[in-house]
């Protein structure tokens, strides 16, 4: 039998260290919803989502109750809408975003991802229509999340898409100016996007995915922080071992919940995403873990190495605990969603340049970063290009979720509330990148051999 100590340890993790299942995300294929008439297409989309996900929220709540583990979010990802809507005879895809929002509300999920286009090599007519509709779609809907993949290691970087996304982000910020540019918090620009990511805002149900699938994202920065606080003064070997063991436990729980959800919903289990996803709550921070390793503040020299160790140990511990690992799997460093990152950014101890370096060794990229409202579209595009280059060259997923906050400048901050948190506005480089971005075309795929 399980010992009392083990039982109390689990309860302490949940009660005091914020251990939770961050999300159960149901992936739903909408490929069979395509129709030339957008009205018919929307009807099919609504019917399919509400039918597949009818019991998603209630099942999640049941599991939560029986296992005594909080499941923070229940969400849905769908086939990239650019694929579904390509055959619609219309110039305007916004009605589809509205129907997705309506379906999300009907089934009670807090976010639905997949207002997406994959344009790493070029645009179809549908891709362009979708991308151009993003600002309006995100300003008119509440729960729809959008993403655009602009680069892959095999295709290189579509610089036309990069340039376009700079403008789209600016426009989205302007259309949601009254909410501090909130629309941009629901828009991710990816390089090497993954098809089975359960985390928002970048989730979509990829082309290689089945009809319907359950993916689970675990979390637990607080638990890892607590565990390594017992390693004070010990060498990194011990730190890595401790993180691995902790990640293993967290992931085992994620796997259990994923299997249970899959069984109860009658939907196949996809992957467990091993990510350390912080929340703005105190004690649920990735920055705190890095500082626990001996850094005075996140952002100082040594941060990248600390993050590399953390990211790798989480994966090593988690991989054995789950039958299928996928998604983004790594530590997230969203500035506005992490109390420690906010603290460092407010004091000017964490720069955009250091964050960019950190994204070389961890999951995702420049995430939930607020920049001055007068940042030019070209500068935003150039930031995207830099991140995409890191992803493409290093064979990893990178992303940019950046908010040029209308009417605000460095020294101010923007508060989105809830899980999206509060972001201090960070300075961008003053020199222009306009000439670079205006070239357009594609940056060729990098060489992946001759690695010596």
Q: Which of residues 66-125 bind other proteins (CB under 8 A)?
A: 66-69
* Rg from Cα positions in the chain: 21
CB-facing half-sphere around the CA of 366: CA atoms within 13 A: 31
58 binds other proteins (CB under 8 A): no
**Torsion angle (degrees, nearest 10) of CA 255, 8, 243, 218:** 30
264 binds other proteins (CB under 8 A): no
344 binds other proteins (CB under 8 A): no
Whether 290 contacts 303, CB under 8 Å: yes
CB of 317 to other proteins, least distance (A): 13
Residue (179 or 241) nearer to other proteins, CB: 241
Burial of 156 (0-12, 13-18, 19+ CB in 10 A): buried
In the list 6, 207, 238, 415, the residue contacting other proteins (rule: CB under 8 A) is 6
In the list 167, 252, 264, 442, the residue contacting other proteins (rule: CB under 8 A) is 252
Whether 211 contacts 285, CB under 8 Å: no
Considering only the stretches 4-12, 38-46, 108-116, 155-163, report the one whose residues sit in contact with other proteins under the rule CB under 8 A. Answer: 4-12
Report the SS3 class of residue 369.
strand
256 binds other proteins (CB under 8 A): yes
**Torsion angle (degrees, nearest 10) of CA 96, 74, 183, 350:** -150
Report the SS3 class of residue 260.
helix
CB of 78 to other proteins, least distance (A): 30
CB of 400 to other proteins, least distance (A): 36
Structure-token match 């606080």, residue found: 229
Considering only the stretches 38-46, 95-103, 251-259, 295-303, report the one whose residues sit in contact with other proteins under the rule CB under 8 A. Answer: 251-259
Q: By rule CB under 8 A, what count of residues binds other proteins?
A: 20
In the list 43, 50, 62, 153, the residue contacting other proteins (rule: CB under 8 A) is 62
Report the SS3 class of residue 346.
helix
Phi, psi (5° rounding) for residue 412?
-95, 175
CA-angle at 156, arms to 154 and 162, nearest 5°: 140
Please list, in sequence order, all residues whose beta carbon lies within 8 angstroms of the beta carbon of residue 8, skipping any fewer than 6 positions away: none
Site string for other proteins, 411-440 (x = CB under 8 A): ------------------------------
Residue (168 or 256) nearer to other proteins, CB: 256
In the chain, the N- to C-terminal Cα span, in Å, equals: 53
Considering only the stretches 64-72, 191-199, 306-314, 438-446, report the one whose residues sit in contact with other proteins under the rule CB under 8 A. Answer: 64-72
Residue (8 or 106) nearer to other proteins, CB: 8
Binding site for other proteins (CB under 8 A): 1-2, 4, 6-11, 62, 65-69, 249, 252-253, 255-256
């Amino acid at each position: 039998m399980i010992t009392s100590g083990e039982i109390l340890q689990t309860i302490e993790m949940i009660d005091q260290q914020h251990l939770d299942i961050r999300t159960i995300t149901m992936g739903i294929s909408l490929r069979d919803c395509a129709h030339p008439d957008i009205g018919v297409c929307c009807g099919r989309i609504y019917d399919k989502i509400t039918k597949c996900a009818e019991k998603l929220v209630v099942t999640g709540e049941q599991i939560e109750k029986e296992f005594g583990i909080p499941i923070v979010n229940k969400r849905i990802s769908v086939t990239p809408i650019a694929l579904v809507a390509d055959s619609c005879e219309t110039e305007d895809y916004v009605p589809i975003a509205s129907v997705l929002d309506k379906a999300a509300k009907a089934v009670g999920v807090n976010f639905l991802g997949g207002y997406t286009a994959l344009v790493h090599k070029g645009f179809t007519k549908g891709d362009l229509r979708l991308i151009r509709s993003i600002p309006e779609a995100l300003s008119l809907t509440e729960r729809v999340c959008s993403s655009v993949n602009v680069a892959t290691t095999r295709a290189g970087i579509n610089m036309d898409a990069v340039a376009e996304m700079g403008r789209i982000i600016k426009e989205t910020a302007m259309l949601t100016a009254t909410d501090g540019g909130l629309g941009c918090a629901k828009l991710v620009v990816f390089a090497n996007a993954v098809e089975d990511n359960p985390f928002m805002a970048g989730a979509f149900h990829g082309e290689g995915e089945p009809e319907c699938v359950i993916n689970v994202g675990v979390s637990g920065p607080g638990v890892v922080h607590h565990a390594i606080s017992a390693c004070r003064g010990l060498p990194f070997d011990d730190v890595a071992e401790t993180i691995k063991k902790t990640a293993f436990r967290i992931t085992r729980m994620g796997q259990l919940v994923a299997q249970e959800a899959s069984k109860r919903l009658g939907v196949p289990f996809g992957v467990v995403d091993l990510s350390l996803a912080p929340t703005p709550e105190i004690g649920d921070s990735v920055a705190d873990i890095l500082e626990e390793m001996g850094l005075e503040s996140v952002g100082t020299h040594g941060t990248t190495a600390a993050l590399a160790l953390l990211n790798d140990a989480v994966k090593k511990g988690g991989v054995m605990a789950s039958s299928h690992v996928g998604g983004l799997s790594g530590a997230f460093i969203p500035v506005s969603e992490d109390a420690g990152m906010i603290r460092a950014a407010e004091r000017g101890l964490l720069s955009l340049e250091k964050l960019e370096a950190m994204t070389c060794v961890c999951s995702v990229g420049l995430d939930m970063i607020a920049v001055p409202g007068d940042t030019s579209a070209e500068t935003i595009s150039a930031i995207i290009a830099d991140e995409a280059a890191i992803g493409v060259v290093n064979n990893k997923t990178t992303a940019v979720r950046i908010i040029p906050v209308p009417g605000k400048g460095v020294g101010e901050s923007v508060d989105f509330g809830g899980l999206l948190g509060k972001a201090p506005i960070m300075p961008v480089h003053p020199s222009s990148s306009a000439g670079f971005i205006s070239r357009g075309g594609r940056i060729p795929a990098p060489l992946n051999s001759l690695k010596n």
